[in-house]
A = this chain, B = another copy of it.
Amino acid sequence: MTHPAPSRRHTIADDLRSQISTGRLKAGERLPSEAQLSARYKVSTPTLRNALALLQGEGLVEKIHGSGNFVRHPLRRITYADGGWMLEAQSPTEEALRVTVRTANLQAHGHLTVLLKVSPRSPLTEFLCLSHEGRSPHSLARIYVPRDLTPADIPERLLAARLAVLSPPLAEVQERVSARLPTPDEATALRISSTLAVLSITRVATDPTGRVVEAALLVLPADRADAVFTTRYTTGAMGAER
């Protein structure tokens, strides 16, 4: 056992964590101020803040500058599956996903030219989608479509059920998943700490002619998100469909 050292911050984090899980601290409740906590645990401010940082990383606590540390509401996990969202164990009081879409026209550049396999400066439409579940931000999506494929109006329920199911039949969808720290913009948009990782999904859809009809850059807070991919093998031994 290489237990590196039950450092003080871990001891404190463990204590607070158990207070949260046993309900002594309830969801939405404000913790005592950092000054009070550091007094109670007899540690210095930085140490106490490190303890809280651990809990933030686990998604148990949300810091709000100027007003305090709060116990987060039990996180309904987001599941990204097969191109759409699912909310886990939908509660009876199912809160709708509000989606804000901002549309913009721009020209392909940099990364986008590669993803969409278009030449630089070719016209694209960007859909910038921010979805909320109740009050809390939920996910962020930037969807790029070649201008000439852009329907006159799809917006609104782009994310609601399933992402941008576009006109031409699709031949292939590739999803690349990685984890990284959010950019400052993403962190503020999703209201997460910039030290909490995000799941980043890059989704590229190709039509039967090989043309890329859509590239979507999705960002989900790591503490709330899963992505699920299912492969079914239909034909005989080992005949993979993907």
Contacts and interface: CB of A to CB of B under 8 A. Distances in A.
Interface of A: 2-4, 46, 57-58, 82, 165, 169-181, 184-185, 188, 195, 197-199, 222-223, 225-234, 236-238, 240-242
A238 B174 CA distance: 15
B230 A170 contact: no
Name the residue in A175, A223, A228, A229 with the highest tally of chain B Cβ atoms < 10 Å from its Cβ.
A229
B222 A242 contact: no
B241 A169 contact: no
Contacts of A232: 171-172, 241-242
Copies of this chain in the oligomer: 2
Given A175-B229, A177-B226, 14 more contacts: A58-B181, A169-B238, A172-B231, A173-B230, A174-B231, A175-B228, A175-B231, A176-B227, A176-B228, A177-B199, A179-B199, A180-B222, A181-B197, A232-B241
Contacts of A178: 199, 222, 225-227
B241 A241 contact: yes
A228 B199 CA distance: 13
B179 A82 contact: no
Given A178-B225, A184-B4, A222-B179, A172 B230 contact: yes
A-B interface, 3 closest residue pairs, ranked by CB to CB distance from nearest: A179-B179, A197-B197, A179-B222
Given A169-B233, A222-B197, A177 B177 contact: yes
Nearest to A80: B177
A229 B174 CA distance: 6
Nearest to A236: B169
A233 B177 contact: no
A184 B4 CA distance: 8
Nearest to A184: B4
A113 to B, nearest CB: 20
Contacts of A231: 82, 172-175, 242
10 contacts: A4-B184, A58-B181, A165-B238, A170-B233, A175-B228, A177-B177, A178-B227, A179-B197, A229-B242, A241-B242
A43 B222 CA distance: 32
Contacts of A240: 82
A188 B223 CA distance: 22
